[in-house]
Structure formats: structure tokens, C-alpha cells
């Protein structure tokens, strides 16, 4: 998909990007120029062409292992990627258009693997190492890979494929990367419209689907990030960021950060599994300037004094949060504790390689609750879910988006693709939002997760923000619970602070004092932890099942 053109400019409100003629919202930033679509170009070729402009690639660090401190320079990254590509091409026989399934925790070596496979035109499909064998079997049946890359602890979950599974934590794989290939890497012509990666998403319909993201999508993501790189960065442009990516790279959030920041010349720090103490040590040890996390981590950073104290975090400048909107109390407490650090929030989807909107400057950062402004090259509509009418600023509706990083579609699921994308290329996100008069986007709730109480719509996120402001509440999630009279009532799952004795009545009363009567919490269940996906989103379906199970067991 080519860059979205803002035309005619005279009909667009310069304050908020809204065009009254077309009833669409546009980015207030200039569109970013992309390479001509007809030019064959892989993500790897594009990235490595950008790296040629680095001042000293021999000494500049590309990748850092958070635990060992082992570093790979940009020149070494390029060399290893090409050595590995030559081996996979000549010894294994991988060819353009085949798919590789990856089952591994975060590792600097998976990033090398990604660039190798991109250069061959081999489609990358990373999966959660915690998935069960049946979940993995479903994904493999969906994408039909020719080969798998795994670790010694995950390989047993993978069924036999055409090629043997390669272990990323083996001496053989290390040799593939570091040994100069006997046979030369043959040039591969990769079209920008070719699929580069298949990531997994529930989309708007609930079942797991494979999201097809092309080389063009990823090239556009890099180019847009490049244009935004100085928008909210307090450091001089010549200072390259040191990025700590603690979100998993099998999820679009981590995958995009590891690819994009390498292309921008930043140093990317990776650790295999999240641990708060290891994260803090890593920030201090490597002089991290930018931290990519899910919202629960930020909540922990202001509530967990025991883990946080004693570390030098003076290098940290920006914390990027994605997956859910942070509550006001959390942002305020974070600002008090870390006055030198900016929290930057944004909005994105697997289907858009993240990055549809983000906070872009000091004025945006002052506004609590916004997920920022539309990124360059993006256009949006806010559509009334009932009437299908496109709405002006300050009116809530479903967000529809169109832009150059938007997916090609879902693997083997034309029905799901056509249900979410219309013939003009608009993607229906399933998210309820509104734009204000300054062009800032405010996320309200997933449409399908709104609680319908006696005709009123209650957003679980609103109640979760209230609950999490209580000093005795570590985490909270709210779900719809069926009720004969009201239809649905808000039910809260609460994780109490250790040694706290707060009970159901106190929770209900605390919320009731701060919300309208129809939003009150009607049921409370205490739980050890809130189930979340890799990006930190609450798995409400799991909680709904748990609530139903508990009721059934009492009958």
C-alpha cells in the first residue's frame, strides 16, 4: 500500500487533522517518502543500506545480551547474517517464499536469524515458547513451514517438518553464523509486496490468525520511525539510543523494536525472560536510554520499592508503553519518582506493525490518557458502530485505519480478511476511540469488551484505573458478568498487596465513591495474578471462564 496522500490540504483542519469533506483524520506530520514499490527490496537490504551511513560500524554496538553482556557490532551483525543466509541457502536449500517457524525466547541470535531469513525472502513466523503442543500444531498447520528454529527446551514441541529443526543454542548454529561459507550467497530478488513475516493475532474476531506483513510494510515502519525518532527524544539526534526491549520478540511489539532500532543505528539490549531485578541491573549496566515495556511493568516500577531501590537509572530518558492505556495515578507517581524520564504512549496492532499513533512532543506528554497523534502516512475514520456514519472530533466510534504498514491480510482466511478490511483498504480495529480538537487520540475500550449494564455502556479500563489507584491493590481486571435483571454487571478480579486484609465490601465502597452508580463494581474475586498476553493485555476471556467456573462449582 502506498503512502496515504493528504489531499486537498486546504480542506484539512490544521489543528486536528480532520477533513470535514471526507470525514477522515490525517496526520499533521509530513508524509514520509518510501522507495518506489516496483524496486525489488528486502527488509535486510533496506536496513543494511541505512547502516552504511553509520560513522564507525566496526565499533558501534548493534546487539547486547542482557545477562552475559556479550555484544555484536553492526559490522558483525551484517557478516553473521550473510554467513547464515549462505548456509541456509546452499546447505539447507531454503528458497524465496518458504516459511520458517521460530520457537525461542528473546535472544541476540534470533535477531541475526531474522535478517538472514528476510534477505532470502523466507517468511519468518515466531511463536510464543510457552504455547502448548496443540497451539503450536494449529499455527504450523496454518502457515505450513519448511523448517523450524528452536532451543533445546522448546524443540520437543515441534512436529517433523521437511527440514530438521535447527537449535539456536547449539554450537552448530553458532558455526553457521561465524564460519565463512564455502559457497557464495546467491543474490535473491525479493519483491516489496512479498510476505516477510507472519505474526499471530486474535484480530477482531477472537480466534488466532496469522497476520501477513510484507517487506513493504516493514520498510515503511522503519522509515516512519526514522521520521519520528527526534519528535520526543530529549537527547541530541547524533546520540544513538540504547534500547532495552523487555517485551518478547515473538510479539509485534518486541519484533518491531528489535528490527526498527537496529535499522536506526541504535543498540538493542535483549533478555530471554522478563525479571524486574534483571531489567533494573541492565538499565544501569548498559546505560539504557529507552525502555520498551508493557503497562504492568510501569505499575510495578511505582509500586515495588523493594526491587526498584538502589539502582542508578540516570541514563534512562524514555519509557515506551504499549498494549493498554496507563491510568492517571500511575503516570503521576512515575513522574514523581523518575522526573527525568518521559513516558511515551502509543496505539498500534499486530495488523499495523504497531505504530498508528503516538505521543510526539512535550505538549502531547502533558495530556493524560491520550495515545498520541496519528503517525506520518496514516489516515483514520471514527465510525458509529450502529449507523456506519463517520464522526467528527469529540464523538466516540470505532477506529478505522489505513496506512503503509497495514497488513496484506490473514493467512488462509479470506473470510476474516474481508470482515476486517473493506475494498478501499480500511481496517476496522474493533476499538472505541475519539479524537479531540487538537488531533489527539483517546482509546476508550475494545468494542466487544464493553459491559452493557441496564442499557449503559461501561468500559472495564475505567474501573481498572480506579481499582489500581488503591494502595492495597497490586493489579485488577474487570469483566462483564451475566445478570438476569441488568444484562451484565461489572465484576472485578483483584490481586491484593501482600499482607493486605482488604475485603470485597471495601473494594466495592472504594470504587462506588468515585464513579457513577451504573459503573459500580457488583462482584469481587481475589486472585493471585491477572492472566495477560505477551504484550500485557488482560486476557478477559480467561477471567470470564474462571468466573463461570466458580459460580458453577457453588451451585
CATH number at residue 540: 3.30.300.30
Whether pLDDT at 139 is above 60: yes
**DSSP letters along 322-358, please?**
-SSPPPHHHHHHHHHH-TT-EEEEEE--GGGTS-SEE
Output the pLDDT for position 418.
Answer: 93
Cβ atoms of 213 and 110 within 8 Å: the answer is: no
In-domain check, residue 154: yes
For residues 495 and 356, membership in a common domain is answered with no
User: What is the C-alpha separation between 389 and 131, in angstroms, rounded?
Assistant: 41
Whether pLDDT at 347 is above 60: yes
For residues 496 and 531, membership in a common domain is answered with yes
In-domain check, residue 269: yes
Whether pLDDT at 201 is above 90: no
First-to-final CA distance of the chain: 55
In-domain check, residue 18: no
Q: Give percent helix, percent strand, percent coil of the chain, each to the nearest 5.
A: 30, 25, 45
User: What is the C-alpha separation between 165 and 159, in angstroms, rounded?
Assistant: 9
Strand partners, 435: 441
In-domain check, residue 30: no
User: What is the C-alpha separation between 33 and 28, in angstroms, rounded?
Assistant: 15
Reported as a pLDDT band with limits 50, 70 and 90, residue 57 is low
Reported as a pLDDT band with limits 50, 70 and 90, residue 181 is low
User: What is the C-alpha separation between 527 and 510, in angstroms, rounded?
Assistant: 18
Whether pLDDT at 36 is above 70: yes
Selection from 444, 416, 445, 510 nearest residue 472 by Cα:
510
For residues 344 and 470, membership in a common domain is answered with no
* Neighbouring C-beta atoms of residue 227, cutoff 10 Å: 17
Whether pLDDT at 226 is above 80: yes
For residues 368 and 505, membership in a common domain is answered with no
Cβ atoms of 491 and 458 within 8 Å: the answer is: no
In-domain check, residue 443: no
Whether pLDDT at 169 is above 80: yes
Lowest mean pLDDT among 3-7, 81-85, 406-410, 471-475: 3-7
For residues 430 and 507, membership in a common domain is answered with no
User: What is the C-alpha separation between 130 and 154, in angstroms, rounded?
Assistant: 9
Whether pLDDT at 43 is above 90: yes
For 73, the enclosing helix (H) or strand (E) is strand 71-73
Output the pLDDT for position 230.
Answer: 57
In-domain check, residue 21: no
User: What is the C-alpha separation between 137 and 141, in angstroms, rounded?
Assistant: 6
Torsion of CA 50, 52, 57, 61, to 10 degrees: 10
Q: What average pLDDT does this structure show over 297-303?
A: 83
In-domain check, residue 2: no
User: What is the C-alpha separation between 527 and 381, in angstroms, rounded?
Assistant: 39
Average pLDDT score over the chain: 89
pTM metric for this prediction:
0.85
Read off the CATH number of the domain in which 256 is found: 3.40.50.12780
For residues 195 and 326, membership in a common domain is answered with yes
Give backbone dihedrals phi and psi of 497, rounded to 5 degrees, phi first: -65, 145
Instruction: Note down the domain range covering 550.
Output: 452-554
Q: What average pLDDT does this structure show over 213-228?
A: 96
Selection from 278, 337, 287 nearest residue 316 by Cα:
287
Q: Which residues contact 550 (CB under 8 A, 6 or more apart)?
A: 525
Selection from 137, 83, 130 nearest residue 104 by Cα:
130
Q: What average pLDDT does this structure show over 540-555?
A: 76
Strand partners, 518: none
Angle at the Cα of 373 from the Cα atoms of 47 and 340, rounded to 5 degrees: 80
Q: What average pLDDT does this structure show over 467-482?
A: 91
Reported as a pLDDT band with limits 50, 70 and 90, residue 553 is low
Q: What average pLDDT does this structure show over 443-458?
A: 82
For residues 458 and 313, membership in a common domain is answered with no
* Neighbouring C-beta atoms of residue 512, cutoff 10 Å: 14
Total number of residues shown for the chain = 555
Q: What average pLDDT does this structure show over 435-440?
A: 97
User: What is the C-alpha separation between 86 and 175, in angstroms, rounded?
Assistant: 12
Selection from 364, 547, 347 nearest residue 445 by Cα:
347
In-domain check, residue 445: no
Strand partners, 12: 19
Q: What average pLDDT does this structure show over 276-284?
A: 93
**Exposed e or buried b for every residue in 252-274, given b needs 16+ CB within 10 A?**
bbbbbbbbbbbbbbbbbbbbbeb
User: What is the C-alpha separation between 172 and 175, in angstroms, rounded?
Assistant: 5
User: What is the C-alpha separation between 156 and 359, in angstroms, rounded?
Assistant: 43
Whether pLDDT at 351 is above 70: yes
For residues 130 and 264, membership in a common domain is answered with yes
Radius of gyration of the chain (CA): 23
The SS3 call for residue 124 is strand
Torsion of CA 308, 310, 315, 316, to 10 degrees: 10
For residues 75 and 213, membership in a common domain is answered with yes
For residues 419 and 462, membership in a common domain is answered with no
For residues 343 and 465, membership in a common domain is answered with no
For residues 162 and 259, membership in a common domain is answered with yes
User: What is the C-alpha separation between 195 and 510, in angstroms, rounded?
Assistant: 50
Domain count, the chain: 2
Amino acid at each position: 500500500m502506498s503512502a496515504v496522500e493528504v489531499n486537498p490540504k486546504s480542506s484539512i483542519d490544521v489543528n486536528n487533522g480532520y477533513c470535514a469533506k471526507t470525514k477522515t483524520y490525517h496526520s499533521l506530520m509530513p508524509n514520509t517518502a518510501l522507495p518506489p514499490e516496483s524496486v525489488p527490496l528486502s527488509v535486510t537490504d533496506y536496513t543494511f543500506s541505512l547502516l552504511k551511513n553509520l560513522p564507525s560500524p566496526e565499533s558501534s554496538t548493534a546487539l547486547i545480551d542482557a545477562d552475559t553482556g556479550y555484544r555484536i557490532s553492526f559490522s558483525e551483525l551484517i557478516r553473521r547474517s550473510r554467513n547464515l543466509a549462505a548456509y541456509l541457502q546452499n546447505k539447507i536449500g531454503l528458497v524465496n517464499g518458504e516459511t520458517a517457524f521460530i520457537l525461542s525466547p528473546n535472544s541476540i541470535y534470533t535477531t541475526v536469524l531474522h535478517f538472514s531469513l528476510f534477505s532470502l525472502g523466507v517468511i519468518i513466523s515466531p511463536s510464543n515458547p510457552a504455547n502448548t503442543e496443540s497451539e503450536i500444531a494449529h499455527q504450523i498447520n496454518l502457515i505450513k513451514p519448511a523448517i523450524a528454529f528452536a532451543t533445546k527446551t522448546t524443540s520437543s514441541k515441534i512436529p517433523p517438518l521437511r527440514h530438521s529443526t535447527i537449535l539456536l543454542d547449539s554450537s552448530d548454529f553458532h558455526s553457521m553464523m561465524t564460519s565463512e561459507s564455502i559457497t557464495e550467497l546467491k543474490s535473491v530478488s525479493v519483491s516489496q509486496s512479498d510476505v516477510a513475516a507472519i505474526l499471530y493475532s486474535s484480530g477482531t474476531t477472537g480466534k488466532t490468525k496469522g497476520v501477513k506483513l510484507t517487506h513493504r510494510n516493514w520498510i515503511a515502519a522503519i522509515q516512519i520511525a526514522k521520521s519520528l525518532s527526534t519528535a520526543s527524544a530529549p537527547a541530541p539526534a547524533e546520540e544513538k539510543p540504547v534500547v532495552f526491549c523487555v517485551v518478547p520478540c515473538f510479539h509485534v511489539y518486541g519484533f518491531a523494536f528489535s528490527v526498527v532500532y537496529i535499522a536506526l543505528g541504535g543498540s538493542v539490549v535483549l533478555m530471554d525472560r522478563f525479571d524486574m531485578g534483571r531489567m533494573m541491573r541492565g538499565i544501569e549496566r548498559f546505560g539504557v536510554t529507552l525502555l520498551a515495556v508493557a503497562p504492568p511493568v510501569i505499575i510495578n516500577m511505582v509500586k515495588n520499592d523493594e526491587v526498584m531501590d538502589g539502582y542508578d537509572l540516570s541514563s534512562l530518558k524514555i519509557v515506551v508503553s504499549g498494549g493498554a492505556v496507563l491510568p492517571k495515578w500511575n503516570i503521576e507517581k512515575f513522574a514523581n519518582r523518575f522526573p527525568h524520564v518521559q513516558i511515551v504512549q502509543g496505539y498500534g496492532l499486530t495488523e499495523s506493525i504497531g505504530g498508528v499513533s503516538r505521543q510526539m512532543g512535550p505538549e502531547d506528554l502533558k495530556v493524560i490518557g491520550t495515545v498520541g497523534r496519528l503517525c506520518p502516512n496514516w489516515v483514520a475514520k471514527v465510525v458509529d458502530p450502529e449507523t456506519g456514519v463517520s464522526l467528527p472530533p469529540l464523538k466516540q466510534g470505532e477506529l478505522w485505519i489505513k496506512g503503509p504498514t497495514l497488513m496484506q491480510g490473514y493467512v488462509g482466511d479470506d473470510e476474516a480478511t474481508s470482515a476486517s478490511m473493506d475494498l478501499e483498504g480500511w481496517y476496522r480495529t474493533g476499538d472505541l476511540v475519539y479524537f479531540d480538537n487538537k488531533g489527539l487520540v483517546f482509546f476508550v475500550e475494545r468494542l466487544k469488551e464493553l459491559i452493557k449494564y441496564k442499557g449503559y455502556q461501561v468500559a472495564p479500563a475505567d474501573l481498572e484505573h480506579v481499582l489500581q489507584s488503591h494502595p492495597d491493590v497490586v493489579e485488577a481486571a474487570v469483566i462483564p458478568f451475566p445478570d438476569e435483571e441488568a444484562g451484565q454487571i461489572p465484576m472485578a478480579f483483584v490481586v491484593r498487596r501482600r499482607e493486605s486484609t482488604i475485603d470485597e465490601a471495601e473494594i466495592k465502597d472504594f470504587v462506588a465513591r468515585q464513579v457513577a452508580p451504573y459503573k459500580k463494581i457488583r462482584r469481587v474475586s481475589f486472585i493471585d495474578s491477572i492472566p495477560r498476553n505477551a504484550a500485557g493485555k488482560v486476557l478477559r476471556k480467561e477471567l470470564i471462564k474462571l468466573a463461570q467456573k466458580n459460580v458453577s462449582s457453588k451451585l
